[in-house]
Amino acid sequence: MEYKDYYKVLGVDRSASSDEIKRVYRKLALKFHPDKNPGDNQAEERFKEINEAYEVLGDSTKRTKYDQLGSSYQAWERTGSKRGAYDWSEWMSGGQGGGVRVDIGDIGNAFGDFSDFFSAIFGGMGTQQQGYRTQGRRRGRDIKQPVTITLGEVNTGTTRVLTINGKKIEITIPPGARTGTKVRVSGLGEAGAQKSGDLFLVINVEPDTRFKRKKDDLYTKVEVDLYSAVLGGEVEVPTLSGNIVLTIPSGSQPDQSFRLKGRGLPNLRNKDKRGDLYVRLDITLPRDLNPRERELFEELANPQES
């Protein structure tokens, strides 16, 4: 088991006051909150680390025990002893000394996403966030189930029927999901002595060759012939609700973009909000000119000679 430096996680000195720790925690939690970083697994892991660190440093009893452990661990490190040989038994939750046996797997599950280090050292002390009071309250493991959906299903929302413990369960996936979005279904995880864990559907969105996605906005490219670009015209544009006709003004330029408001994807958190669709023009040049077309282009290229 590795020692975790919670002060380093929050970026504060060991002498930091409780107010300073709380202030830094709130700032970091806001920055890395999953709602602000959907689909960002690194931000999610950082958020978990920050919460775990504050669970210890924001509680005076846990912080005192952690500081005592830190002093002991640092003194042991200075002896140059073999890595991984530190005796954790004195510090493990449930009382000091006596080589207390700790089932790290079970305790870790009881505290959700907290690390084995936290579970072993603080498992019997309860948490501020989850309200566990004893080591005996054990919760089944959470189960993650990957689910692949199309971009069209992101647009409308969808359902999946899963077989859980021999029973078929229909689960709703809301509109606006992204790759990495987790849909939580309470109580459908692994059974525990006191409480079952949860089931998390981990969403993977299939690529759609027609579009590129940036958050809730979509980007597409349409081919436009030279004559329509110069003179103006109409072109069909794909959307997730079917093709629509876009009017192109005369004098349109290569790579020029048009914004179709509200034609993007729904927002996962706000059903009344949608992204936009950006249409970029790919102007194609004629390859084989007949004699008359060539004559006309030459006249345009040399107007003084006409």
pLDDT exceeds cutoff 50 at 91 = no
Query: Element (H or E) spanning 244, and its range?
Result: strand 244-248
CB 302 within 8 A of CB 283: no
CATH of 143-205, one of 2.40.50.140, 2.60.260.20, 1.10.10.10, 3.40.50.360: 2.60.260.20
CB 14 within 8 A of CB 67: yes
CB 220 within 8 A of CB 211: yes
Q: Round the average pLDDT of the chain to a whole number and report it.
A: 80
pLDDT digits (tens, 9 = 90+) for 188-200: 888 777 778 888 8
Looking at residue 106, its pLDDT comes to 31
Looking at residue 74, its pLDDT comes to 58
Name residue 258's beta-bridge partners. Answer: 279
Looking at residue 138, its pLDDT comes to 66
Domains 143-205 and 212-305 share a fold: yes
Helices and strands per DSSP (H, E), number in the chain? 9, 11
pLDDT confidence band for 211 (50 / 70 / 90):
very high
Pairing mode of beta strands 143-149, 199-205: parallel
pLDDT exceeds cutoff 90 at 56 = no
pLDDT confidence band for 95 (50 / 70 / 90):
very low
Domain extents for the chain? 6-125, 143-205, 212-305
* Choice among 130-144, 200-214, 259-273 with the minimum mean pLDDT: 130-144
Both tokens assigned to 167? 């029973």
Q: For 140-144, what is the mean pLDDT?
A: 84
CB 150 within 8 A of CB 241: no
pLDDT digits (tens, 9 = 90+) for 159-192: 999 887 777 888 899 999 999 998 888 888 887 7
- What's domain 212-305's architecture? Sandwich (2.60)
pLDDT confidence band for 305 (50 / 70 / 90):
low
- What's domain 6-125's architecture? Orthogonal Bundle (1.10)
- Count of residues making up the chain: 306
Q: What is the pTM of this model?
A: 0.53
Count CB neighbours of 127 within 10 A: 21
Q: For 41-58, what is the mean pLDDT?
A: 88
CB 260 within 8 A of CB 291: no
CB 171 within 8 A of CB 160: yes
